[in-house]
Structure 1
Amino acid sequence: MRSNLNGLPGTYWYLWTGMLVNKVGGFGILFLSLYLVNTRGLDPTAAGAVVGLNGLGGAVGVLAGGVLADRWGRRRTLLACHAAASALMFTLAFVSWLPAIAVISCLLGAAQTMAGPAMVAAIVDVVPEHDRTRAFNLQFWAFNLGTAAAALLAGLLAEASFTLLFVVDGAATFATFLVFLLRVPETLPPRAATAGTALPPPGRRGLHTALTDRFFLPFVGLTLLLAVLSSQTSTILPLAMKADGLGPSAYGALMAFAGGLIVAGQLFVPRLIGTRSKAVVLATANALLAVGFTLVAFADAVPLYVVAAVIWTIGSMAAAPPNAEIIAELSPADLRGRYQGVFYLTFPLAGFIAPALGGVGLQRLGDRHWLICGVLGVLAAAGHLLTGRARERRAAELRAVRAGDGTPARAGRLSG
C-alpha cells in the first residue's frame, strides 16, 4: 500500500482519522449514567444496571465483530457497525420510555464494540511489524485526543440538553461511516497468503482457537481487570463527583484534562518504555491505576481528583502500546479478527461489571469502593509479573515460525 505521512500507509491514516472523528463526538454513553439519574430520576443502582446493559450488548458485539472481520471483511464490518450505531444514537436522543432506553443501550453496545476488532485487525494488515508500536501509539493518542475533546464538549452540552448531546454523537458516528465508505479499502489478507501461519490444524481453526489459547487467555483475563478499573472513569466516577457536589461540567473538565495529558505525553511513551519487558511495563501500569483509583477514596474537591487522574492516566498511557503489540504477536494472520474479538470482549464485559457492581458498591460502601479498585490493580500487576515470561517466550517462537525459521516439528509442537 502507498505510504505517506511518517512512512505509515495511507489506509492507516484514514482509519486513524475516522476513529478520531468518532471519538470527538462519542460521548453519549459517557454521560448516560448522569442522564438516567438527572433526567429520568433513577437511583445509581438502577442507572448502573441500564448502563451495564450497554456492556452486555458489547460482549456479544465484540465477538461478532471479530468473526465478521475475518469472514466478511474489515471494511464491511466497519461500515455496518457505524451505520447501526449512528441510527441507534439518533433514536436514543428522542426516546423517553425507560424499557426502550434499556434496549437501545444494549444494542448500542453491540454496534459500537463490533468496530474494535475490525479496526485493529485492519491496522495490523496494513502496517509492517516494525512500525506497529508507533502505529498503535498514534492510535491511542488519537483515541485520547478525541476523548478529551468529547469530554469537554459533552460537559457543556449536558448542561444544556442531553438530546443535543445524543444527536451530536450520532452525527459524528455517521461522519466516521462516510470516511470509511469513501477512503478505506478491504484489507483482509487472502487466505492463500496466510495458510502458512496456521498453528493449530486448519480443521480446528476459528473462535475456538483464540478461546483455548493457554498463553493468550491469561493475558485477556488480566486485561479485564485493567478494563474494569479504567471503566470507573466513565461509569462510576461521575456519580462519585456528583455526591461531592461537583456537576457535569467539572467531570467533563477532569476527563478533558486527563485526555489532554495523554495527548501531550503519549507520543513520548515508546521512548520511555523502549525495549523494556512488556510484562514489567504492564505491571507498572496496573500498579499506577491502583494508586490513582485508591486516591479517589480521599478526594472531595477538584484538585484532589486531578492528582488521582494524573496517576491513573500515566498508567493508562503505559499500558496501551504493549497490549496492542501482544495481541498482534500472539494471533495468526487469518485469525486476527477473532483474537481481537476475544481481547476486546474485556471492554464490554468491564462496561457491564463496572457500572452494575460499581453502582451497588458506591451506594453501599461509599469511598471503600475505591479501595477495592486499588486491590484489583495490585492483583493485575502481580499477574503480569507471574505470566509475562512464558507469554514473551511464546511470542518469540511464533515470530520464528512466521519468519520461516521454525521447523515443521517445532510448528507442530506449538500447535498443541
Structure 2
Amino acid sequence: MSVAGLRRAARETVSGLPREFWWLWTSTLVNRLGAFVATFMALYLTLDRGYSASYAGLVVALHGLGGVVSSLGAGVMTDRIGRRPTMLIAQTSTAVSVAVLGVMVHPAAIAAVAFFVGMSSNASRPAVQAMMADIVRPEDRVRAFSLNYWAVNLGFAVSSAGAGFIAERSYLAGFMAEAGMTLVCAAVVFLKVPESRPERTAAAVRDTPAEPAVRLSTVLRDGRFMSVVGLSFVVALVFQQGYVGLPVAMGTDGLSSSDFGTAIAVNGVLIVALQIPVTRFIQHRDPRRLLVVSSLLAGYGFGLTAFAGSVAVYALTICVWTIGEIINAPVQSGLVVRLSPAHGRGRYQGMYTMSWSAAALVAPLMSGVVIDHYGATWLWGMCAVLGTAAAGGYWMLMRGLPAEEKVTESVALVAVTAAEPGQDAAAGLPQDAVERAV
C-alpha cells in the first residue's frame, strides 16, 4: 500500500467519531501509561520486600478478587449515579490506594490494600464501556472499541518498559507515578468528558410509559446475554494462559524469564501494529463468524504450544492466538452493547467485566493443577477444546440475533443528557433530533 493509501486508511479509521470519545480514549491511554502495580506486584513483594512466592501469589489473587467484587457494584453505580461520577470515584480511589500500597509494610496491611486497589482500578471499566456505547453510533462501535483496546495495549507496552526502568531504581517511585497518572486520567474525565447516561428514552420523549427498570436480576434472567458472559469466561480462560501457563511451560523447557519476555512481547507488538488495520477489515462483517474464528484461533493457537520447544516456535504460536485476540476484543464488546438496553448498560457491562475478572482468578489455579498433575501438553489440549466449545457456542447463540438498533439512538441519548440539570430532557434535544428519534 502506498503512503497516500496508508494516510487515507488511517484517516478513515479515526474519522467520524465524536470528540467526547477521543477524550475518553485519551483518559484510557493515560491510565494505561501509568500501569505499574498489576505488572510488578509479584516482583515487588518477592524482590523488594523479601516475601515468599506463596504470599505474593495470595496478594495477586486478592488484587484479582477485588476486581471480581467491584464489577457488579460498579455496573450498578454506572446506571444509578452516572458514567462520569463512577469513573471519577474509581480513578480517585485508585490513585489514593496505590499511593498507600507503596508505603505499607505489614503483610496484612499490604494484602488488604491490594484488595482495595483491585476493586477501585476495575470499577471504572463498566462506566467506560457504557459511555462509549452511549456516545458512539452503533455502526461505529466495533471501530471505537477497537481503538480503545489499541490504546490499552499501546499504553501498556510503553509503561512496561518505563516501569521496568523505574523499578530497578525505586518501586515506591513506580507506585507514586501510577497514582499521579491516575489522577491525570481523572482530571481529563472531570474537565473534558460530559455525562452520557440516558435519563429518558425516545419512548419517554413522546410521553409513553418508560421502559421497565433494569436490575441485576434482570441481567441474570437474560438467557442470551448470560450465555455471552459464559462464553466470554471460557475465551478469557484461554487467553489468560498466555500470562500464567505459558511462562511456566517455557520454564519447564529450560527457557529463561527473558526468553518469555521476548516471546510475549510479540503479543503487544502485533496488537499495536495490527489492531487498526484488522478492524478496518472486520468492522462490517458478520460478528457470529468473527467470534467463531477468533475462538478457534485462540484455542488452537494455544493448542499448538504443545509442539513448541524454542523461543521462535513459542513466538509463532503467540502470533496465532494474538490474531484471535485482536478480532475477539472489539467484536465481543460490540455484541455486549447490542444485547444491553440503553438504560441498563452499566449493569450489563459490569456482568461482562466480571467474566474476565473471574477468569483471571481461575486461570492460574487451572494451569497450576493441570501442569503439576498431567503436564503442560494437557493444558494446551484443554485450551484447544475450550476454544472449539466457545466457537460452537457462539455459532448457536447468535442465530436469530436481534437487529442492530437505530443509528439515531446514540445521538438522541447524548443530546438528552446534555440538557441542564432539572431541565426537561426533551428540551435538550434539537427539534429535528427529537423527530428522528421517534
Q: If the length of structure 2 is used for normalisation, what is the TM-score?
A: 0.80
In the TM superposition, residue 322 of structure 1 has moved relative to its aligned partner by 1.3
Q: How many residues are paired up?
A: 393
In the TM superposition, residue 101 of structure 1 has moved relative to its aligned partner by 2.7
- Counterpart secondary structure, 2:241: helix
Equivalent residue for 2:403, pick from 396, 399, 402 = 396
Query: Kindly tell me: are residues 399 and 342 of structure 1, through their superposed partners in 2, closer, same or farther at Cα, counting changes over 3 Å?
Result: farther
Give the root-mean-square deviation of aligned CA atoms. Answer: 3.0
Q: Is the 8 A contact 1:34 1:238 kept in 2?
A: no
Q: Partner amino acid for 1:227? A: A
Q: Partner amino acid for 1:183? A: K
Return the alpha-carbon distance in structure 2 between the equivalents of residues 364 and 90 of structure 1: 40
In the TM superposition, residue 309 of structure 1 has moved relative to its aligned partner by 1.6
Q: Is the 8 A contact 2:238 2:387 kept in 1?
A: yes
CA offsets 1:119-166 (integer angstroms, 9 cap, x no match): 011111111222222211211111221122233334444555544443
The answer to whether residue 396 in structure 2 is matched with residue 386 in structure 1 is: yes
Equivalent residue for 1:260, pick from 256, 269, 272 = 269
Match of 1:377 in 2: 387
Match of 1:139 in 2: 148
Return the alpha-carbon distance in structure 1 between the equivalents of residues 51 and 375 of structure 2: 20
Q: What is the 5 A alignment of 1:45-56? A: 47-56=56-65
The answer to whether residue 355 in structure 2 is matched with residue 346 in structure 1 is: yes
Query: Kindly tell me: are residues 323 and 154 of structure 1, through their superposed partners in 2, closer, same or farther at Cα, counting changes over 3 Å?
Result: same
Q: Partner amino acid for 2:382? A: I
Return the alpha-carbon distance in structure 1 between the equivalents of residues 220 and 408 of structure 2: 21
In the TM superposition, residue 378 of structure 1 has moved relative to its aligned partner by 2.1
Q: Is the 8 A contact 2:62 2:111 kept in 1?
A: yes
Runs (5+) with no aligned partner, structure 2: 1-13, 411-438
The answer to whether residue 52 in structure 2 is matched with residue 42 in structure 1 is: yes
Q: Is the 8 A contact 1:156 1:249 kept in 2?
A: no
Equivalent residue for 2:241, pick from 220, 232, 248 = 232
The answer to whether residue 217 in structure 2 is matched with residue 205 in structure 1 is: no
Match of 2:118 in 1: 109
In the TM superposition, residue 228 of structure 1 has moved relative to its aligned partner by 1.6
Give the stretch that moved more between structures: 355-364 or 77-86. Answer: 355-364
- Counterpart secondary structure, 1:389: coil
Q: What is the 5 A alignment of 1:32-181? A: 32-39=41-48, 40-43=50-53, 47-181=56-190
- Counterpart secondary structure, 1:147: helix
Return the alpha-carbon distance in structure 1 between the equivalents of residues 179 and 253 of structure 2: 31
Match of 1:412 in 2: none
Return the alpha-carbon distance in structure 1 between the equivalents of residues 203 and 364 of structure 2: 40
Query: Kindly tell me: are residues 267 and 290 of structure 1, through their superposed partners in 2, closer, same or farther at Cα, counting changes over 3 Å?
Result: same
Q: Is the 8 A contact 1:151 1:253 kept in 2?
A: no
Q: Partner amino acid for 1:282? A: L
Query: Kindly tell me: are residues 250 and 13 of structure 1, through their superposed partners in 2, closer, same or farther at Cα, counting changes over 3 Å?
Result: farther
Query: Kindly tell me: are residues 310 and 160 of structure 1, through their superposed partners in 2, closer, same or farther at Cα, counting changes over 3 Å?
Result: farther
In the TM superposition, residue 347 of structure 1 has moved relative to its aligned partner by 1.4
Q: Is the 8 A contact 2:204 2:210 kept in 1?
A: no
- Counterpart secondary structure, 1:26: coil
Match of 1:357 in 2: 366
Give the stretch that moved more between structures: 267-276 or 131-140. Answer: 267-276
Q: Partner amino acid for 1:142? A: A
Greater Rg over alpha carbons, structure: 2
Q: Is the 8 A contact 1:49 1:355 kept in 2?
A: no
In the TM superposition, residue 249 of structure 1 has moved relative to its aligned partner by 5.0
Q: Partner amino acid for 2:196? A: T
Q: Partner amino acid for 2:319? A: V
Query: Kindly tell me: are residues 107 and 325 of structure 1, through their superposed partners in 2, closer, same or farther at Cα, counting changes over 3 Å?
Result: same
Return the alpha-carbon distance in structure 2 between the equivalents of residues 303 and 380 of structure 1: 28
Q: Is the 8 A contact 1:211 1:217 kept in 2?
A: yes
Query: Kindly tell me: are residues 46 and 333 of structure 1, through their superposed partners in 2, closer, same or farther at Cα, counting changes over 3 Å?
Result: same
- Counterpart secondary structure, 1:22: helix
Query: Kindly tell me: are residues 181 and 246 of structure 1, through their superposed partners in 2, closer, same or farther at Cα, counting changes over 3 Å?
Result: farther
In the TM superposition, residue 34 of structure 1 has moved relative to its aligned partner by 4.1
Q: Is the 8 A contact 2:79 2:345 kept in 1?
A: yes
Query: Kindly tell me: are residues 300 and 158 of structure 1, through their superposed partners in 2, closer, same or farther at Cα, counting changes over 3 Å?
Result: farther
Q: Is the 8 A contact 2:63 2:118 kept in 1?
A: yes
In the TM superposition, residue 42 of structure 1 has moved relative to its aligned partner by 3.0
Q: Is the 8 A contact 1:54 1:106 kept in 2?
A: yes
Return the alpha-carbon distance in structure 2 between the equivalents of residues 302 and 98 of structure 1: 37
Match of 1:409 in 2: none
In the TM superposition, residue 319 of structure 1 has moved relative to its aligned partner by 0.5
Equivalent residue for 2:317, pick from 286, 291, 308 = 308
- Counterpart secondary structure, 1:331: coil
Q: Is the 8 A contact 1:48 1:358 kept in 2?
A: no
Give the stretch that moved more between structures: 363-372 or 135-144. Answer: 363-372
Q: Partner amino acid for 1:9? A: P
Q: Is the 8 A contact 2:214 2:343 kept in 1?
A: no
Query: Kindly tell me: are residues 251 and 97 of structure 1, through their superposed partners in 2, closer, same or farther at Cα, counting changes over 3 Å?
Result: farther
Return the alpha-carbon distance in structure 1 between the equivalents of residues 314 and 143 of structure 2: 31
Return the alpha-carbon distance in structure 2 between the equivalents of residues 180 and 359 of structure 1: 40
Give the stretch that moved more between structures: 360-369 or 315-324. Answer: 360-369
Bigger relative CO (Cα 8 Å, ≥ 6 apart) = 1
- Counterpart secondary structure, 1:263: helix
Query: Kindly tell me: are residues 155 and 231 of structure 1, through their superposed partners in 2, closer, same or farther at Cα, counting changes over 3 Å?
Result: farther
